[in-house]
Each structure stands twice: as structure tokens, then as C-alpha cells.
Amino acid sequence: MIKYLLIRMASALPTLLGMTIVAFAIVSLAPGDPIEQELRAMGIVPTVEDLNALRAKYGLDKPFIYRYLDWMSRAVQFDFGTSIATGRTVINEISLHFPATFTLAISALFGTILISLTLGIAAVASNQNTASFLRALTVVLVSIPSFWLALILIYIFVFYFGWARLVGDGSLRDLVLPVITLSLGSGAALGRVVYERIRAEMCEDYVRLAIAKGVSPAKILLRHITPRIIGPLATAWTNALGGLLGGAVIVESIFGWPGLGQLILQAISQRDFPIIQAYLVFMGLGFFITSLIADIIVIITDPQLRRKNSHE
């Protein structure tokens, strides 16, 4: 297991390195001067000497390759510099907003699991007409963009029924609509995976034997089918967490949830390059970590892979 993890992390190093280059290049080569824009937003008309001094302070006067190497040497120590807009360290800014985003993503993951299991099992256990309706509903939910679904939920639950509020304070009450928005689409997509997995296992001989013995469908599902499909499903759910973290940006901005989505949108509008670069790196790390966890789950739940890795 340890050998496999080391090989897996080593193989991911070129990808992570390329990700840092892209993150740094996209932001650094963007047109415009963040220093001048921030000063003008504050009502200050800077002189050339002021601009040159601030560019030197933030290292923006150096060539691209030197700026990247300097940035990379600090990034591996999780030192991404100072926010141009607030003057606080980037890590401090991210640490203030990350808990809210992580809470939203984890809550949406539980919602995704619940919705996927409900839709998948219901489609298998229902008659043909109901199953067709559920599959059509799945297609609709997957096809609706998250921002449009968010606006629909706002209209229904905020303006029509008045059960929720549009501008909240980050409490658990304000978490409900963002979680529903994120989990409906991903839950519907994974509900199709649950359905296909169960249908495939129902064609196996051991299931037919259990049916011939008179075992109830519920016991067949829980005792025979579930142990064989839980590994692939857990892998799919874990991989979905990375998408939920990335997809939270738009949803957070619509519902005013105080997470990384609010931070990155403010950074983009203010051309706060250090914040943008750190955000791109952390999102890439998030996808890598969730993918690594998914690989570990595959090994743990697959007896053949577990024996293979134990022998190695």
C-alpha cells in the first residue's frame, strides 16, 4: 500500500508542476496592472515612482521566469505572499474562507450520496413507467446549469414561499439552498451510476440463486449486491467531492455564502494576483487529494488489488 501511494504521488508531480506553471502564467500574463488599478479604486492617483516602488515590493518588476521560480520556492512552503487588496497574507485570507467552502462541499457530498442512492434504487425497484420517469428526471437535473437551478430555488423558496432568505450570515439555515443546488445535479448523475451497477449485479448467477431460494429483494440488495458495488460507488462519490469544491464558486456568489467563491470573485474583480494564483493551486491540490483518496478506497474495497499490493 505504501509503495503504491509513493508511486502514485511521484507520478502526479509532473501534473502538479504543470498546474503551478499554468496557474502562474495565466495570472501573470493577464493584461493590466493590479497595483495601479487597486490604487485608483482607492481614489489615489499614483506617480510613476509610487508604481515602481510597489511593483518592486510585490516582485512584479522581475522577468517571468524569475518571478515563477521565486513564487514556486515560497509556494512549496505554503507562502503565497500578500494580498494586494487587503494587505493580509494569502494563507490568512484562504484560511478565513476555506472552512465555509469545505462545509458546503461536504454537506453537498452527503446530499449527493443520498440523492444518488434514492434515484438509483428507486429506478431499479419501480415499474417500467416510473423507472422511465426517474431516468428522464435524472437527465433534466444533470442538464440544468447550477446557476439556473440556484435562481429557480431562490424564486421558489425565497420570493414565493418565504422559507429562506436571500442574504444570510453564514449560518446553517443559509446552507440549505446552496447544498440542494450543488447536490441535485451531481446526485442525479451518480444516481445513474448506482442504477447501472445494481442492474449489472442483478444479472449475476449469485443473485439469481438467491431469488430462487426465496430471499427477499431487500436482503439481496443489502447482503449480496451492496458489498460488491460499494467500492466503485465510494470511488465515484469521492471523485465528486473535487467537482463540488470547484463548483461551489458560482453557487456561493449567488447565495452570498462566505466561502472561497466570494474570495476568488473579489480577487478577480480587483486583479488580486496572489489570491488568484493560490486559489488555482489549492483547487488543483483538492482534485489530486480526492483522486488519491478514491484510489485508496478502490484498493481497500477490492480484495484482488489488496492482495496484490500486500504481496508487493
The kind and range of the H/E element at 203 are none
**Given a cut of 70, is residue 312 above it in pLDDT?**
no
Residue 204: CB atoms within 10 Å: 13
Mean pLDDT across the chain, nearest whole number? 82
SS3 of 213-273: the string is CCCCHHHHHHHHHHHHHHHHHHHHHHHHHHHHHHHHHHHHHHHCCCCHHHHHHHHHHHCCH
Does the pLDDT of residue 221 top 60, yes or no?
Answer: yes
pLDDT one-digit tens code per residue, 28-51 = 776 666 677 667 666 677 777 777
pLDDT in tens, 61-83: 777 788 888 888 888 888 888 88
Q: Has domain 90-311 been given CATH number 1.10.3720.10?
A: yes
Assess contact for 172 and 106: CB atoms under 8 A: no
pLDDT of residue 41: 65
- Quickly state the pLDDT bin for 207 (edges 50, 70, 90): confident
Structure confidence at residue 107 (pLDDT): 92
Residue 1 pLDDT more than 70? no
Q: What's the confidence (pLDDT) of residue 170? A: 67
The DSSP result for 86-145, as a single string, is T-SBHHHHHHHHHHHHHHHHHHHHHHHHHHHHHHHHHHHHS-HHHHHHHHHHHHHHHHS-
pLDDT at 31: 66
**285 pLDDT exceeds 80?**
yes
Report pLDDT for 26.
76
- Spatial CA neighbour of 27 closest among 245, 278, 262: 278
Parse the chain into domains and list their residue ranges.
90-311
| Residue keyed to cell 522577468 | 63
